[in-house]
Amino acid sequence: MGEKRWCAIPAEDVFSLIGSDQDGLSDQEASIRLARDGYNEVTSKKEHGPIYRFLKQFASPLIYLLLIAAVITLFLGKYADAVVIVLVVLANAIIGFIQEGKAQNALESLAKLLVPEARVLRDGVSKVLPSRELVVGDVVLLESGDRVPADLRLFYVKNLRADEAILTGESLPVEKNASAIDSDCVSYGDQKNVSFAGTLISQGQGRGIVVATGNDTQIGRISKFIRESKEISTPLLRKMARLSLILSVVIVAIATLTFAVGLLQGYDTVEVFMASVSLAVAAIPEGLPAVITISMAIGVNRMAARNTIIRTVPAVETLGSATVICTDKTGTLTRNQMTVTQVYAAGKTYTITGTGYSPEGDFLLDEIKVDPLQDKALVETLKAGVLCNDASFKGTDNIDGDPTEGALLVSGLKAGKFHIPRKDVVPFEPEQRFMATLHEKEDGSRIIYVKGSPETVLDMCVSQFDGNYLVPVDTEGIMQAAEQMASEALRVLAMAYRDVPKDVAGIEAEDIGDLVFVGLQGMMDPPRDDVMEAIAKCKTAGIRVIMITGDHLKTASAIAKKIGIESSGALSGGDMEKMSDEHLSEKLDYVSVFARTSPEDKLRIVKLLQKKGEVVAVTGDGINDAPALKTADIGIAMGQTGTEVAKEASDMVLADDHFSSIVAAIEEGRDVYSKIQKIILWTLPTNGGQGLSIVIAVLLGITLPLVPLQILWLNTVTAIGLGVPITMEPKERGILKRPPRPPKESILVPLIKRRIIFVSLLIVAGAYLTFFLKMGRDGDLTAARTVALNTIVFFQIFYLFNSKSMYEYVYKDLLSNKYMLLGIGIVVLLQLLITYNGALNSIFSTAPLLAVDWLMIIAVSSTVFFLIELEKYLYKKHYIS
């Protein structure tokens, strides 16, 4: 079937060849075809297997150095040392392999949450299905903002244009039609009656029958070039890789210098060589990027649990420094469940009771219940709202379609049922601000109904229906009524009509004019229950919230005031057009409500905020929001109401469309960055202390406090048992009470630099102190080295508790991380094992210790905990109070 040139076959013949019709397939037939043909999916690039990923862990200059050292020590007869070096290499490879696998699996599982959907007809009933379940013969409904889910032969179009740049390279949208093309040898770009999978609908509406799915689609045949998976790489990881490289080069240079100085000092060649290798192993944080990757993957999973799906991993980092959120109103700050509460017709304002999408309620005039069918102008206003409408009523509180249209449909149903067959439509487009439909009455005459913004509709009206006659349009009275509704936070739409001759078969946007105004409908979309608390949290977190909406200025201002968005006045799109960038930039300092805006206005606001140094998050759901979503530092698409275009332009998707989920994601983003800082805060000082203990001994020509094999053991055991559990640290309290992180902030903030120096020196001093005290008391070099080894381990354990927070005291949360406690327990048991096991004593040059030795070790190593907590106190007193 996929080899046919469907563009050359008339639509009715296509249906016959495929075995379908304009009402689509039955669910039963679709299931049969799905089982036969498989899912509508393109075969993706084969991922590397586990063997490749494991071997990749050895592709590191440090690992090469260790393997060379293992070979040399083997030839020198140091078999135990060679075995331990190989075990260190294997341990690092296993850790990296496991962590990379976890990170990759986390991201893949989250990608599956973003399943594209398509609206299809099955047995004539419209339903939304995952795109992967489409089969040849399905009828797909298309509208502006959709991504085409399969190759379709179009049989109905209305102002349909498609962006086919992904396939043809054409930058301009292509106008589509439904007519068969004479030639059967045309290029893709000339197939005007076919919509190809992966292309975007930029305007209008259409219907098409699926003629190819999955690998049989045109885009499927070249998908291997455009669907290759992305590597897990972020700005932070690249910074960490550079930092690790710099550290590696510096430390290898120091190790080389240490080796040279050691030879001059008279050390045994093999011993000083092994000491230099141990120095490199101890000081280089080779596992740091892997631990950071798994930390970010865990954060991404936690965000998903809070209804935020991260599409690009860098968004996790950026979230921690967001300073401004530019948000839509409808559906994000509000419930997106509109209810018409007021109708203005023939100079009278009616109140309608009832909420949500239940078609139950009364019409009140001056608080007295009235029969709506007795006022002809009111009836025409309600009828226009019902007929000029693409929504459908599916039962109480269940609307299929746009919430605004759903509200108009329900308001009409509260008065009665209105139905006149539709013949044509001019779909709503943001640029024109109205929708029009053509209907045929029972007597064969035809009528156009129009709905849209009051300003737009009134500009097209030449008269007004007062319930009995056509009279001149009372523009001033109508606009006053509209502004009054808007001041009460109602969204206002105007209704109009025009009788046309029987021979009018279709309508275009330019045909709409000479209308008769009938009335206004004002609807309320109440704020979500949790939005006020979320905005208050933003304020505490130093994040400013700006509302950018297409609603009326007064409606937007009223909602903003109600939910706690602080703004000195409000600006409309018209106001912005008159302003220079400099003037508007000044206004952005204190104006946080923008109404009646276009997509260009939204993009302009985002760019000006970024120019002022703000880190901007932007929400959007439509195709016109894509430029702003792409330009923003964090593009946030709506998961429920958002178009595929908006989702693909975004960095993250809100599964529930709630504003509070953005705040939750920012909290998680800050937590991820906080954990990364803690990992660095613990790793670099402890590695520095291990390495420095070797350098000092060699440079001063004194006895090494540790033998090389002990350093290799120390580095491996603590990296696994103490380093990895930091990624599981619970979220700190008050993380949203801190100001946003400066986007250009260095990874090594001044506090971390101070800690590296202070803790490294403290570890070295403590290790040498216990080493010489034991030597002075017993004169046993092996026991003294065992004391120094355990001193460094316990220094790392106590400092691990300090690292639970950079700035806050940790005494209340010492037991909050069960993984950390488990890791500490395992490390302590291993230390006891190599201290008291005879076989391991001979391998690692250790000796059993006395109880007094352990008291000395604990007393000395615990000083780091108290000194760092004291430093936090002094920092708070000096910098914060």
What are the chain's domains?
1-229 (2.70.150.10), 236-302+673-880 (1.20.1110.10), 308-333+528-657 (3.40.50.1000), 344-524 (3.40.1110.10)
- Give yes or no for residue 81 having a pLDDT over 80: no
- How would DSSP label each residue in 434-484? EEEEEEE-TTS-EEEEEEE-HHHHHHTEEEEE-SSSEE---HHHHHHHHHH
| Higher local confidence (pLDDT), 312 or 548 | 548
- Give yes or no for residue 102 having a pLDDT over 60: no
Residue 56 is predicted with a pLDDT of 72
- What percentage of the chain carries pLDDT values higher than 90? 38
| Higher local confidence (pLDDT), 595 or 103 | 595
- Give yes or no for residue 21 having a pLDDT over 60: yes
Phi and psi, residue 835, nearest 5°: -85, -35
Which of 371-385, 644-658, 804-818 is predicted with the least confidence, judged by mean pLDDT? 644-658
Which of 411-415, 478-482, 875-879 is predicted with the least confidence, judged by mean pLDDT? 875-879
Residue 840 is predicted with a pLDDT of 92
| Higher local confidence (pLDDT), 648 or 676 | 676
pLDDT in tens, 581-620: 999 999 999 999 998 888 788 999 999 999 999 999 998 8
Could you tell me the sign of the dihedral formed by the alpha carbons of 335, 339, 342, 346, in that order?
positive
Amino acid at 770: T
d(CA 761, CA 768): 11
- Give yes or no for residue 226 having a pLDDT over 60: no
Query: Measured between alpha carbons, how far apart are the two ends of the chain, in Å?
Result: 75
Contact 676, 726 (CB under 8 A): no
d(CA 748, CA 767): 26
Partners of 205 in the beta sheet?
A: 143, 158
- What percentage of the chain carries pLDDT values higher than 70? 86
| Higher local confidence (pLDDT), 731 or 792 | 792
Could you tell me the sign of the dihedral formed by the alpha carbons of 612, 615, 621, 624, in that order?
positive
pLDDT in tens, 509-537: 888 999 999 999 999 877 887 899 999 99
Grouping H, G, I as helix, E, B as strand and the rest as coil, residue 322 is coil
CA 207 → CA 177, 210, 481, 721, 790, distances in Å? 11, 10, 40, 60, 74
- Give yes or no for residue 224 having a pLDDT over 70: no
Structure tokens at 709: 């094999």
Residue 650 is predicted with a pLDDT of 83
Catalytic residue status for 328: yes
| Higher local confidence (pLDDT), 688 or 401 | 688
d(CA 449, CA 439): 8
Partners of 470 in the beta sheet?
A: 465
d(CA 517, CA 454): 10
Q: What is the overall mean pLDDT for the chain? A: 84
- Give yes or no for residue 798 having a pLDDT over 50: yes
Tell the residue number behind the tokens 């291997």, with chain if given: 224
Residue 46 is predicted with a pLDDT of 55
Structure tokens at 583: 């003037």
pLDDT in tens, 738-769: 888 876 777 788 888 999 999 999 999 999 99
Residue 786 is predicted with a pLDDT of 97
| Higher local confidence (pLDDT), 32 or 701 | 32
- Give yes or no for residue 433 having a pLDDT over 80: yes
Which of 140-149, 305-314, 367-376, 678-687 is predicted with the least confidence, judged by mean pLDDT? 305-314
Partners of 635 in the beta sheet?
A: 618
d(CA 13, CA 6): 10
DSSP category for residue 394: -
Residue 835 is predicted with a pLDDT of 96
Tell the residue number behind the tokens 């393997």, with chain if given: 67
Residue 107 is predicted with a pLDDT of 46
| Higher local confidence (pLDDT), 184 or 666 | 666
Residue 1 is predicted with a pLDDT of 46
Residue 355 is predicted with a pLDDT of 77
Structure tokens at 49: 């297997």
| Higher local confidence (pLDDT), 774 or 104 | 774
Contact 652, 635 (CB under 8 A): yes
In this prediction, residues 34-52 reach a mean pLDDT of 76
Residue 854 is predicted with a pLDDT of 97
- Give yes or no for residue 76 having a pLDDT over 80: no
In this prediction, residues 50-73 reach a mean pLDDT of 72
pTM: 0.68
Grouping H, G, I as helix, E, B as strand and the rest as coil, residue 502 is coil
d(CA 637, CA 617): 11
Structure tokens at 355: 């909420």
Which residue, among 158, 33, 14, 62, has the nearest Cα to 712 in the 3D structure? 62
Which position among 138, 146, 328, 575 bears the catalytic label?
Answer: 328
Residue 829 is predicted with a pLDDT of 97
Residue 834 is predicted with a pLDDT of 95
| Higher local confidence (pLDDT), 569 or 344 | 344
- Give yes or no for residue 235 having a pLDDT over 60: no
Which residue, among 226, 164, 150, 171, has the nearest Cα to 200 in the 3D structure? 164
Model confidence band, residue 333 (pLDDT cutoffs 50, 70, 90): confident
Contact 229, 265 (CB under 8 A): no
**797-836 core/surface letters (b: 16 or more CB in 10 A; e: else):** bbbbbbbbbbeeebeebeeebeebeebbeebeebbeebbe
d(CA 413, CA 385): 10
Residue 314 is predicted with a pLDDT of 65
Question: 652-654 and 634-638: which strand pairing?
Answer: parallel
Residue 645 is predicted with a pLDDT of 67
d(CA 576, CA 571): 7
- Give yes or no for residue 172 having a pLDDT over 70: no
Put the strands of the sheet holding 593-595 in their side by side order. 308-310, 652-654, 634-638, 616-620, 324-327, 544-548, 593-595, 571-572
In this prediction, residues 575-584 reach a mean pLDDT of 93
DSSP category for residue 147: B
Which residue, among 211, 215, 167, has the nearest Cα to 39 in the 3D structure? 215
| Higher local confidence (pLDDT), 2 or 552 | 552
Which residue, among 611, 565, 555, has the nearest Cα to 590 in the 3D structure? 565
